[in-house]
Amino acid sequence: DAGVTQSPTHLIKTRGQHVTLRCSPISGHKSVSWYQQVLGQGPQFIFQYYEKEERGRGNFPDRFSARQFPNYSSELNVNALLLGDSALYLCASSLFLGGKLGETQYFGPGTRLLVL
């Protein structure tokens, strides 16, 4: 079975540019979450989407936005890129059974973004 897929795998941008990252969840999973992992740190929560609605947002500036499509895939958009946005961007999918304890999130391989 296919796991979480993300595209592109690598990306190089310059400061001030815009980037769009894509994620397809595991078949049957309706929730997608985005995380940013800077080198040497653990992943940091950016957004969670479920049924095309934002269900959670981390402490990130408005330059970061996301959306979820009817097929449950998702896009993360970052505007006005800064050098500090260089990181591994991870997408995670889960069933999101509405409050089930210990629900597992499965991570995709990530997109490595380098901002020059």
Q: Enumerate binding residues for other proteins (CB under 8 A).
A: 31, 33, 35, 40-45, 48, 55-56, 58, 90, 92, 94, 96-110
Q: Which is nearer to other proteins, 26 or 92 (CB)?
A: 92
Q: Which is nearer to other proteins, 67 or 109 (CB)?
A: 109
Other residues' Cβ atoms within 10 Å of the Cβ of residue 35: 22
Smallest separation, CB 16 to other proteins (Å): 27
Those residues whose C-beta lies under 8 Å from the C-beta of residue 45, and which sit 6 or more positions away, are 33, 34, 35, 56, 58
